[in-house]
């Protein structure tokens, strides 16, 4: 029994890394502009669709480069058409604006790029590898494409951490997040900062979209998978990059273990139809965290004077 | 890309104008179609919708309509959501000079929801290859027509084939057969039949539901790896199918041991998995992919004139052909009804009679250009399914190939189940069973 549990744990952790990658995009924008960008999920889809469709006409490296241009153009369009007109508005107004962006991009993405299932071929190995075959019967199964995705995610995290903590731009981003007006008063160009952070979030979405797209195929449903980042954020905290990573790992491992280990128990005990635990477990876990630690594991505790 | 945008624009015009249009002429038969060209299920919804639309267009262009009555056709996008399906139904049911001829919901969930509305509005529901399995009992489900096959038919044919592969039904004893299913009314339909067959032959069933839209299946396939079933039956739709095959590759489950229902056996289900899908099987709703006689007319009257909805090379794909079959059965039902009620636009109630008396012989199927696609079908009040045959096809990496003889679902097993379920439904809904005469 230990073998299957370990295998599920490893698979869950690797999937969790992919959740983290999407969650990073949310954290970036929230940390730098105080906006909870509901459109991050659909940005993942849009970015993946761009790479997949462009790679039908160009070699993959060029398709990726062009997709980066598309995501930067998208960031500019969002900044110019939406955010610039909402400076100093309440967070909830900005959140609602990103909801609008979500629905627009969902339809626009399918209109421009199509609704079929498209592929992104990054040349990643598809067949599983088996380790510790002498210890566990049949060995422990590991999906090599998820291992590679985890490695790429780790590189992204290190790069983003350096960007935020060490560079001048990173500090400016944090200043904007604290207070738009105060940041403007010390000469930080708000529009440029917003453009930059949305462009970086777009590139993170591109990486996440490529990883998920190579694994599942690129299709509308990708934006729904990306929403799994929400419980990850609640768990890890909206402002913490390490939180997004740890949250992703907990959610990934937790939901897979719940489905495989808890599922059969529930079926035996309550004669349920079973299944589907994987989908709701993450949200229940997030809900429990909201009750006891609303700022998440690594989020900043908000104290307001009244 | 420009072609794609132009295609979408053309589809919109088609939906709202060319065949439909706000001002419908009096000699037009209005036929609505619930489609999904966007959303998670669009990869499978689009080719089916194209097949339906192009067949209506063919009948109008080649024959001037059905006995001179032009088809007016309108799509409504449901996104495969039941609530939107009901909304589309309400919006379109009274359109046209005589209201909707029939509805094609293309969703078991929407079919379930419309089953109670259809008798009130007197509009038949054609759920070809889907819907409630017991709805073939026309005495209880007077307005439902699960033509060509129900999910009990599909599951029975697959089990028959597995038994044949193993060397007989007695060899199924002790085997383990898993069902990976879309956690919806659609996916749950085959469970009753599988449990019945499991009881009869002593095999074990392992039920593994997958939640909409079906892109997260890792835990499901890890359970398959741990339980090591002898066979896996796949009851998916849309992106769930290709994801299942990819996950099977990821856990090294042999694709040759996997059997999909006919909604899990089309090109969009296997192509994303590339070579990984080679050896995967699916039961057919009689037909497979390919070019048939009907394609000659389709090319001459529709595609050569630049009026086709799809690319020409997509017209030989499974879901496109299925869309054409569904439209053809609807058209022939109207033609049957016209023989009784006159060559004019008919009401839903009159078309219902036409569907219930549909009788397509091999000769008529050949005349229609569907030889090699369909076997004869004869519908009656006692049998709203009309035919219960199918074959197994296998993906060879590039194409679907038929790899079995014809099977007929065993009515000794299915008919009593239909009777029980239909009687129970009639009691629940306080329906007095009986055949409608008109």
* Residues B252/A127, Cβ–Cβ less than 8 Å: yes
Position B393 scores a pLDDT of 97
Local confidence band at A150 (pLDDT 50, 70, 90 cut-offs): confident
Q: Is the pLDDT of residue B311 over 80?
A: yes
Number of domains composing chain A: 1
Position B11 scores a pLDDT of 45
Within a domain: B51:
yes
Query: Is residue B90 located within the same domain as residue B224?
Result: no
Position A274 scores a pLDDT of 58
Q: Is the pLDDT of residue B6 over 70?
A: no
* Residues B124/B350, Cβ–Cβ less than 8 Å: no
Query: Is residue B11 located within the same domain as residue B137?
Result: yes
Residues of B in contact with A222 (CB under 8 A): 215
Query: Is residue B298 located within the same domain as residue B320?
Result: yes
Written in H, E and C, the secondary structure of A230-248 is HHHHHHHCCCCHHHHHHHH
Partners of residue B302 on adjacent β-strands: none
What DSSP string runs through A256-284?
HHIIIIIHHHHHHHH------HHHHHHHH
* Residues A207/A152, Cβ–Cβ less than 8 Å: yes
- 3-class state of residue B44 by DSSP: helix
- pLDDT (tens digit, 9 = 90+) per residue, B390-423? 999 999 999 999 999 999 999 999 999 999 999 9
Query: Is residue B29 located within the same domain as residue B104?
Result: yes
Query: Is residue B268 located within the same domain as residue B171?
Result: yes
Within a domain: B349:
yes
Using left for φ > 0, alpha for ψ between -120 and 50, and beta otherwise, residue A34 falls in left
**Of A40, A205, A60, nearest in space to A119 by CA:** A60
Number of domains composing chain B: 2
Phi, psi of A161 (to 5 degrees): -60, -45
Local confidence band at A272 (pLDDT 50, 70, 90 cut-offs): low
A141: closest chain B residue by CA = B251
* Average pLDDT of the residues in B427-432: 93
* Residues B125/B103, Cβ–Cβ less than 8 Å: yes
B244: closest chain A residue by CA = A216
* Residues B44/B323, Cβ–Cβ less than 8 Å: no
Within a domain: A30:
yes
Query: Is residue B209 located within the same domain as residue B233?
Result: yes
- 3-class state of residue A150 by DSSP: helix
Residues of A in contact with B243 (CB under 8 A): 216-217
Q: Do the bridges between strand B377-378 and strand B400-402 make them parallel or antiparallel, or are there none, so unpaired?
A: unpaired
Position A162 scores a pLDDT of 84
- pLDDT (tens digit, 9 = 90+) per residue, B152-170? 999 999 999 999 999 999 9
Local confidence band at B221 (pLDDT 50, 70, 90 cut-offs): very high
Within a domain: A221:
yes
Helix (H) or strand (E) holding B283: strand B281-283
**Of B249, B279, B287, B258, nearest in space to B370 by CA:** B287
**Of B81, B84, B17, nearest in space to B53 by CA:** B17
Sheet strands (E) in chain A: 129-131, 140-142
Q: Rounded to an integer, what distance in angstroms lies between the CA atom of residue B264 and that of residue B270?
A: 9
Position B413 scores a pLDDT of 97
CA B210 to chain centre: 20
Query: Is residue B272 located within the same domain as residue B400?
Result: yes
Residues of B in contact with A107 (CB under 8 A): 38
| Domain interval for residue A157 | 17-226
Q: Which residues have CB under 8 Å from B374's CB, separation 6+?
A: B148, B286, B287, B325, B360, B365
Local confidence band at A64 (pLDDT 50, 70, 90 cut-offs): very high
- Beta carbons within 10 angstroms of residue A292's beta carbon: 6
Q: Rounded to an integer, what distance in angstroms lies between the CA atom of residue A77 and that of residue A71?
A: 10
Helix (H) or strand (E) holding B198: helix B191-201
Residue B66, domain CATH: 3.40.50.2300
Residues of A in contact with B252 (CB under 8 A): 127-128, 141
| Domain interval for residue B202 | 151-284+391-411
User: Which residue in the block uniquely carries the two structure tokens 């590039």?
Assistant: B398
Is residue B211 within 8 angstroms of chain A, CB to CB? yes
Within a domain: A143:
yes
Within a domain: B56:
yes
Q: Chain A closest CA to B77's CA: distance in Å?
A: 13
More confidently predicted of A181 and B404:
B404
Q: How far is CA B250 from CA A118, A141, A262, B91, B247, in A?
A: 19, 9, 23, 45, 5
Q: Which of B207, B209, B272 sits opposite A117 (nearest CB)?
A: B272
Helix (H) or strand (E) holding B400: strand B400-402
Q: Rounded to an integer, what distance in angstroms lies between the CA atom of residue A101 and that of residue A98?
A: 5
Average pLDDT, chain B: 92
Within a domain: B242:
yes
Q: Rounded to an integer, what distance in angstroms lies between the CA atom of residue B76 and that of residue B88?
A: 6
Position B129 scores a pLDDT of 96
Contact A112 B5 (CB under 8 A): yes
Lookup: tokens for B160: 């028959």
- C-alpha gyration radius of chain B: 21
* Average pLDDT of the residues in B337-347: 97
Contact B40 A224 (CB under 8 A): yes
Q: Rounded to an integer, what distance in angstroms lies between the CA atom of residue A115 and that of residue B45?
A: 10
Within a domain: B49:
yes
Q: Chain A closest CA to B250's CA: distance in Å?
A: 5
Which residues of chain A have a Cβ shorter than 8 Å from any chain B Cβ? Answer: 4, 7-8, 11-12, 15, 53, 107, 110-112, 114-117, 119, 126-128, 138, 141, 143, 215-217, 219-222, 224-225, 228, 255-256, 259-260, 263, 273-279
Query: Is residue B231 located within the same domain as residue B303?
Result: no
* Average pLDDT of the residues in B304-310: 96
Give per-residue burial for A78-101: e unless 16+ CB within 10 Å, then b. Answer: bbeebbeeeeeeeeeebeebbeeb
Q: Chain B closest CA to A70's CA: distance in Å?
A: 15
Position A302 scores a pLDDT of 66
* Average pLDDT of the residues in A220-232: 85
Q: Is the pLDDT of residue A111 over 90?
A: no
Query: Is residue B108 located within the same domain as residue B178?
Result: no
Query: Is residue B268 located within the same domain as residue B297?
Result: no
Within a domain: B433:
no
Q: Which residues have CB under 8 Å from A119's CB, separation 6+?
A: A52, A213, A214, A217, A218, B272, B274
Number of A–B residue contacts, CB under 8 Å:
127
Within a domain: A158:
yes
Contact B38 A107 (CB under 8 A): yes
Within a domain: A50:
yes
Within a domain: B427:
no
* Residues B14/B270, Cβ–Cβ less than 8 Å: no
Q: Is the pLDDT of residue A299 over 80?
A: no
Q: Is the pLDDT of residue A14 over 80?
A: yes
Q: Is the pLDDT of residue A282 over 70?
A: yes
Residues of A in contact with B246 (CB under 8 A): 126, 215-217
Query: Is residue B134 located within the same domain as residue B192?
Result: no
Query: Is residue B171 located within the same domain as residue B238?
Result: yes
Position B26 scores a pLDDT of 80
* Average pLDDT of the residues in B47-54: 97
* Residues A285/A254, Cβ–Cβ less than 8 Å: yes
Q: Is the pLDDT of residue B17 over 70?
A: no
Within a domain: B426:
no
Position B7 scores a pLDDT of 46
């Amino acid at each position: 029994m230990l073998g299957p549990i370990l295998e599920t744990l490893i698979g869950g952790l690797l999937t969790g890394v992919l959740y983290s990658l999407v969650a990073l995009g949310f954290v970036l924008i929230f940390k730098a502009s105080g906006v909870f960008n509901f459109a991050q999920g659909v940005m993942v889809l849009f970015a993946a669709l761009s790479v997949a469709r462009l790679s039908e006409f160009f070699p993959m490296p060029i398709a990726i480069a062009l997709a980066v241009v598309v995501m930067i153009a998208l960031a500019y369009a969002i900044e110019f058409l939406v955010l610039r007109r909402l400076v100093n508005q309440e967070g909830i107004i900005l959140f609602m604006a990103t909801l609008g962006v979500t629905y627009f991009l969902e339809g626009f993405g399918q209109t421009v790029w199509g609704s079929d299932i498209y592929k992104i071929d990054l040349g990643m190995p598809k067949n599983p590898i088996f380790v510790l075959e002498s210890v566990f019967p049949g060995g422990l199964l590991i999906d090599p494409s998820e291992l590679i995705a985890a490695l790429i995610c780790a590189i992204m995290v290190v790069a983003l951490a350096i960007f935020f903590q060490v560079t001048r731009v990173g500090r400016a981003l944090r200043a904007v997040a604290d207070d738009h007006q105060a940041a403007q008063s010390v000469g930080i160009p708000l529009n440029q900062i917003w453009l930059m952070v949305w462009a970086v979030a777009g590139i993170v979405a591109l990486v996440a979209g490529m990883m998920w797209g190579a694994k599942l195929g690129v299709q509308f449903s990708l934006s729904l998978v990306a929403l799994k980042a929400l419980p990850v954020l609640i768990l890890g905290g909206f402002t913490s990059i390490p939180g997004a990573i740890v949250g992703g790992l907990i959610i990934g491992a937790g939901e897979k273990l719940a489905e495989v280990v808890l599922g059969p128990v529930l079926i035996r005990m309550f004669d349920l139809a079973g299944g589907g635990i994987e989908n709701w477990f993450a949200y229940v876990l997030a809900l429990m965290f909201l009750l006891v630690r609303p700022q998440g594991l690594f989020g900043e505790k908000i104290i307001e004077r009244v | 890309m420009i072609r794609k945008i132009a295609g979408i624009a053309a589809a919109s015009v088609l939906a709202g104008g060319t065949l439909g249009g706000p001002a419908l002429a009096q000699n037009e038969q209005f036929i609505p179609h619930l489609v999904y060209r966007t959303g998670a299920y669009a990869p499978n919804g689009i080719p089916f919708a194209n097949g339906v639309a192009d067949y209506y267009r063919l009948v109008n262009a080649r024959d001037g309509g059905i006995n001179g009555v032009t088809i007016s056709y309108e799509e409504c996008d449901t996104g495969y959501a039941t609530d939107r399906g009901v909304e589309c139904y309400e919006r379109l049911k009274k359109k046209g000079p005589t209201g909707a001829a029939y509805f094609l919901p293309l969703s078991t969930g929407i079919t379930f929801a419309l089953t109670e509305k259809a008798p009130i509005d007197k509009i038949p529901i054609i759920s070809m290859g889907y819907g409630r399995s017991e709805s073939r009992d026309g005495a209880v489900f007077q307005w439902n027509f699960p033509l060509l096959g129900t999910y009990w038919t599909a599951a029975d044919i697959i089990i028959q084939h597995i038994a044949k592969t193993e060397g007989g039904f007695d060899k199924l004893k002790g085997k383990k057969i898993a069902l990976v299913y879309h956690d919806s009314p659609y996916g749950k339909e085959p469970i009753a039949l599988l449990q019945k067959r499991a009881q009869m032959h002593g095999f074990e069933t392992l039920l593994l539901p997958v939640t909409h839209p079906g892109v997260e299946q890792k835990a499901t396939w890890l359970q398959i790896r741990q339980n090591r079933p002898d066979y896996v039956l796949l009851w998916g739709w849309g992106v769930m199918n290709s994801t299942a095959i990819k996950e099977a590759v990821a856990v090294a489950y042999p694709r040759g041991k996997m059997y999909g229902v006919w909604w899990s056996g089309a090109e969009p289900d296997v192509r994303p998995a590339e070579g990984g899908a080679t050896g995967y099987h699916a039961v057919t709703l009689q037909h497979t992919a390919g070019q048939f006689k009907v394609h000659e007319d389709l090319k001459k009257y529709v595609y050569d004139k630049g009026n086709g909805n799809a690319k020409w090379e997509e017209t030989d794909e499974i879901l496109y052909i299925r869309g054409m079959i569904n439209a053809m059965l609807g058209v022939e039902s109207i033609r049957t009804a016209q023989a009784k009620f006159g060559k004019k636009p008919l009401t839903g109630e009159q078309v219902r009679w036409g569907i219930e008396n549909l009788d397509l012989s091999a000769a008529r199927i050949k005349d229609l250009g569907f030889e090699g696609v369909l076997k004869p079908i004869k519908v009656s009040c006692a049998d709203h399914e009309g035919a219960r045959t199918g074959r197994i096809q296998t993906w060879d990496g590039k194409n679907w190939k038929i790899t079995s003889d014809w099977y007929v679902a065993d009515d000794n097993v299915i008919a009593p189940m239909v009777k029980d379920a239909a009687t129970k439904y009639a009691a629940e809904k306080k329906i007095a069973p009986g055949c409608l005469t008109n």
